[in-house]
Copies of this chain bind each other. A is one copy, B any other.
Amino acid sequence: MTKDLFQPTHPIPSPRTVDEALAWIRLLRSRRVGVSTFFRLLDEHGTAEAALEALPEVAKAAGVKDYAPCPEHVAEDEYRRAQMAGAKMICWGSPDYPTLLSEIPDPPPFFWAMGDETLLHSPIIALIGARNASSIGTRMARKLANELGEAGFTVISGLARGIDTVAHEAALKTGKTIAVMAGGVDVIYPKENTDLAEDIARDGLRISEMPPGVTPQARHFPRRNRLISGLARAAVVVEAAAKSGSLLTARNALDQGRDVLAIPGHPFDARAYGCNMLIRDGAALVRNAADVIEAIGPAISSTTSDAKTPADDASAAAPQAGTRDKRTLAETAKLHGQILSRLGSCPLAEDQLIRDIGQSHGLGSQQILPELVNLELDGRITRQAGGLLSKPS
């Protein structure tokens, strides 16, 4: 399914009965229905029930024969299993749904939450790092999580080995923590984190958009990671090697408009590659929790007053206090557009491109260069021999 940002034309009411909730589950779990299609169908048909009825016809019109939506018993199983695990369904449009998460391009229509769901509305910071973290990286994650907890922040991470584990452990000591599971909210992975996961469900919060009972697979992790940064005000990258998952997660957080901060390391340390690169590209260099707070502002809870819908306008979806470079992020998106509009299929010299953009928009090469790197990493531009840039063919 595509990941286009879909803006419905009128508010989407969250489910008020178990039957409505079951219809939401059925619709989202139906074949070929992703986040974007879910919201589009709901917008067109008013309710999930109506969308489910229309679905076979919609599929037929799209050339898909013999289409059947997700069977009712599958949705009922998911709902029952969640009930047994003590998990609550948090639906788009309800006051329980976190505002920041509603602003990402592909917010989950609903997710399962086990534990203290009020944490979804606390000031959240993501800690990002590798499973095979170095000892200095692990120490840093522990110290950061501890200090951020003391400062009133909730630390969010992925319950993986390494950085995630120590971040959750340390945050539980001084504050609160949220674990976003790649599989079902009741499926603990890795097994050695069972005690930790149970502590988190008691004193913190575990969430997942997958059906309970699902075993996590590699392909689930990137989707899961978008929730970690999507729920957070900022993401702190503790350690990230070249081409690592952590670096990818950081790039995705940037795409979501999140502040990305990074702990530097010596260039001779391969695990510092990603963080140093992010800092070169404009991420704030942070050495401790105080630097994080200086960069993003103190811990102030988001309001939970209004149920939001994707139809709310941009001002309603205003960022939280403390995201100082919001303006720059908007400008960055604009700059990306300007760069891409100048690149046709015919390659252009990087110098020339920088000069052109610089002259027409009053920008220096130091502002343009990192964005060229970002676009290249995103696969939106291709670098050829001799410093020539082009759009990918």
CA distance A102 to B356 in the complex (A): 34
Which residues of the other chain, B, contact A342 by a CB distance below 8 angstroms? none
In angstroms, how far is the closest chain B Cβ from the Cβ of A238? Answer: 10
Interface flag for A267 (CB, 8 Å): yes
Q: Mark A246-287, 1 if CB is under 8 A from B, else 0.
A: 000000000000000001111111001000100110001101
CB–CB A327/B364 < 8 A: yes
Report the separation of the CA atoms of residues A285 and B273 in the bound assembly, to the nearest whole angstrom: 12
Bound-state CA distance A269–B264 (Å) is 11
Assuming A325-B366, A328-B364, is B272 touching A136 (CB within 8 A)? no
Indicate whether A288 reaches chain B with its CB closer than 8 angstroms: yes
* Protomer copies: 2
Q: A364-B327, A364-B328 are in contact. Are A276 and B287 (CB under 8 A)?
A: yes
Q: Collect the chain B residues with CB atoms within 8 Å of residue A303's CB.
A: none
A324 contact from B139, B276, B328, B364, Cβ within 8 A: B364
Quick check: B264 and A267 within 8 Å, CB to CB? yes
For the complex, is A140 an interface residue (Cβ under 8 Å from B)?
A: yes
Answer whether residue A365 sits at the interface, using C-beta atoms and an 8 A cutoff.
yes
CB contacts (< 8 Å) of A288 on chain B: these are 267
Known: A279-B279, A279-B285, A285-B280. A268 touches B366 (CB 8 A): no
Taking a contact as CB atoms under 8 Å apart, the answer to whether B264 and A140 are in contact is: no
Give CA–CA (A80, B328) in the complex, Å: 62
Nearest CB in chain B to that of A295: its residue = B366
Is A267 touching B279 in the complex (CB atoms < 8 A)? no
Contacts of A263 in B (CB 8 A): 266-267
A266 touches B272 (CB 8 A): yes
Please, how many angstroms separate the alpha-carbon atoms of A328 and B140 in the complex?
A: 34
* Residue of A139, A266, A287 ringed by the most chain B CB atoms within 10 A: A266
| Inter-chain contacts of A267 with B (CB < 8 A) | 140, 263-264, 287-288
**CB-defined contacts of A287 to chain B, threshold 8 Å:** 267, 276
B365:A324 contact, CB within 8 angstroms: yes
Q: Are B364 and A268 in contact (CB under 8 A)?
A: no
Question: A312-355: contact bitstring with B at CB < 8 Å (1 yes, 0 no)?
Answer: 00000000000011011000000000000000000000000000
Check if B366 sits within 8 Å of A324, measured CB to CB.
Answer: yes
A134, closest chain B residue (CB): B266
Q: How far is the CA of A1 from the CA of B278 in the complex (A)?
A: 46
Residues of B within 8 A of A265 (CB): 264-266
Q: How far is the CB of A247 from chain B (nearest CB, A)?
A: 15
A273's closest neighbor in chain B, by CB? B287
Pick 13 A–B contacts, CB within 8 A, sort by A: A136-B266, A140-B266, A140-B267, A264-B264, A264-B265, A265-B266, A266-B266, A267-B287, A276-B285, A280-B284, A294-B369, A325-B366, A327-B364
The list of the 8 closest CB pairs from A to B, nearest first, reads A264-B264, A267-B287, A265-B266, A280-B285, A279-B285, A136-B268, A136-B266, A264-B276
Question: A263-B267, A280-B284, A327-B364 provided; 6 other pairs, C-beta below 8 A?
Answer: A264-B266, A267-B288, A276-B285, A279-B285, A294-B369, A324-B366
